Structure 1
Amino acid sequence: MAAAAQPSYSLIGCPSLNLDKKCLGFSRHLNNCRKFAFFFSNVDQRLLCKVQPRRLGPSLITCFASNKPEISSTAKIRSEVLSPFRSVRMFFYLAFVASGALGGLIATTQLIAALSNPSRATEVPDILKGLGIDIGAVSVFALLYYRENTAKNAQLAKLSREESLSNLRIRVDEKRILPVSAFRGIARLVILAGPASFIADSFKSSEPFTDRLVERGVLVVPFATDGNSPSFEFEDSEELKEIIAKRKRLWQLAPVYATEWSEWLAEQKKLAGVSPESPVYLSLRMDGRVRGSGVGYPPWNAFVAQLPPVKGMWSGLLDGMDGRVL
């Protein structure tokens, strides 16, 4: 591309372009090699740059930046799988809108001709009836398309947030750091976000349900939002050795890269209209999707009552009975 135009380029007015981050670049040939369009994208920003090379001197590049995250192809594919006939419905809605609009245009021209010709005055009621039907059809199918498109965008946004969650990192032990997606099909994560006192109280309240929570594959991810690391005290007793081992397993995970966790949780609270200081919990299904969330302490008793065990005669049969997706 550079060999064809052979201009010199300069970037100006792009304060949001971070050259240290990985970007993808695309170019398009415009107006006989006189203009080029560049698209840089990463997780945080998109820039569209128009380049107008000159024979002499540096080229002028005007950049437009947007902070909206790009919807990944994976999220779009998952949306198509979850709603396989949505694209077909939207296509037919648009086709019906176009058909009704064309019919309305024809009816309008006929109405104008009938009104300008007194001999065709008897045709006006029928033309008005047809025009009304066309307008009604366009309105109905436009509304259906709007609702379908709104639902599609909402689903894509939700899947994109879930994908961002799946990329967050969790420390399993001193040697292993895994993304949330690595626990799909293995465990049901319960994410707790709040001050250290909230984490400590949740730890104490989970004690009576330890056995049944572990049987159901529940693992807790405590995230202290006040920067204080929560301390978990386990009794050192031979009689309680087995239950202590289960409690350590239940609370063994710890989030890493706190900034990324804070940003993701802040976005979820903003979308849900929850105060940034409020402690919250999120319960994930076995497939990694969010099945429940709320403000305050997690309902351990509800988890025990609603979730099937991951082992025994009910394993496999009830793997999909994690509850509906929020």
Structure 2
Amino acid sequence: MFFYIAFVASASLGGLITITQLIGALGNPSRAPEVPVILKDLAIDLGAVSIFAFLYYRENKAKNAQLSRLSREESLSNLKLRVNEKKTIPVSTLRGIARLVICAGPASFITESFNSSEPFTESLLERGVLVVPLVTDGDSPSLKFDESEEQKQVTTKRKRLWQLAPVFITEWFEWLEEQKKLAGVSSESPVYLSLRLDGRVRGSGVGYPPWKALVAQLPPAKGIWSGLLDGMDGRVL
């Protein structure tokens, strides 16, 4: 960006000098043959100013967008989650540990997201996925766990996958509304956001989380790929 400014300044100075030459040539009939050459030089200077000014604008816009995204992600990292009745942590605590999937919508949306995740429970946990259900209508979702002895292991994994709960809901709502506004999404629309291991947003959308796609795209959180692919969960948005 520094060089873009320097090039704009240099081309602008060259353009001013060329304009003075053009004025002198137009006022002196004997220098009339020089006018086409001077006009050509002026066009080059103006073109250079336009190109480098555009490049600076584009770079500055990208920088501001990145800073805005980082600010939103930092705000997200400070939001609180309840792990159990005795433990509350900020989202940032889970960086490098879990890939959060935030489901935000009415209770019925959370319930359906819960039900549709059942076939992928074990695979999601293997990839370090934990779900954060954010209910937006004040009702309670129906998260039914099979407490039978035969399903004890499955139920334990289901509870682990859905163990997190947002704390200080108003702060979560404010953050969510800002995200929706920037994305041009209706405030009434149910949405999901998936985070990478480093806490940055890797994907989002309107509707139910794509559990099957997450299982296919994310590397296991343990084993030979652990460490090597940490954080490589796709590009950030």
Q: Same fold (TM over 0.5)?
A: yes
1:170 positional shift = 0.7
1:191 match: secondary structure: strand
Residue matched to 1:130: 41
1:229 positional shift = 2.7
> Aligned pair 1:220/2:131, yes or no?
yes
Alignment check: 8 A CA contact 2:104 2:192 kept: yes
In the TM superposition, what whole-angstrom CA distance separates every residue of 1:77-117 from its partner, at most 9, and x where no partner exists?
A: xxxxxxxxxxxxx1001000000000000010111111111
- In structure 2, distance between residues paired with 1:324 and 1:300: 18
Counterpart mapping for 1:28-177 below 5 A: 90-177=1-88
Q: What value does the CA root-mean-square deviation take over the aligned residues?
A: 1.0
- In structure 2, distance between residues paired with 1:114 and 1:153: 45
Output the amino acid matched with 2:100. Answer: L
- In structure 1, distance between residues paired with 2:57 and 2:179: 25
Residue matched to 2:116: 205
- Aligned match for 1:194, one of 96, 100, 105: 105
In the TM superposition, what whole-angstrom CA distance separates every residue of 1:234-262 from its partner, at most 9, and x where no partner exists?
A: 11122221111111110000001111111
Q: Specify every segment of 5 or more residues in structure 1 that has no aligned partner in the other structure, as ranges.
A: 1-89
Identity %: 77
2:33 match: secondary structure: helix
> Aligned pair 1:258/2:169, yes or no?
yes
- In structure 2, distance between residues paired with 1:294 and 1:125: 57
1:203 positional shift = 0.7
How many residue pairs align between the two structures?
Answer: 237
- Aligned match for 1:236, one of 138, 147, 151: 147
Residue matched to 1:8: none
Residue matched to 2:200: 289
Residue matched to 1:48: none
Residue matched to 2:224: 313
1:311 positional shift = 1.1
In the TM superposition, what whole-angstrom CA distance separates every residue of 1:198-217 from its partner, at most 9, and x where no partner exists?
A: 11111111111111111111
- In structure 1, distance between residues paired with 2:105 and 2:73: 20
Output the amino acid matched with 2:155. Answer: I
Whose helix fraction is larger, Structure 1's or Structure 2's?
2
1:275 positional shift = 1.2
1:264 positional shift = 0.8
- In structure 2, distance between residues paired with 1:271 and 1:119: 61
| TM-score, structure 2 as length reference | 0.97
1:231 positional shift = 3.6
- In structure 2, distance between residues paired with 1:263 and 1:320: 27
1:230 match: secondary structure: coil
1:239 match: secondary structure: helix
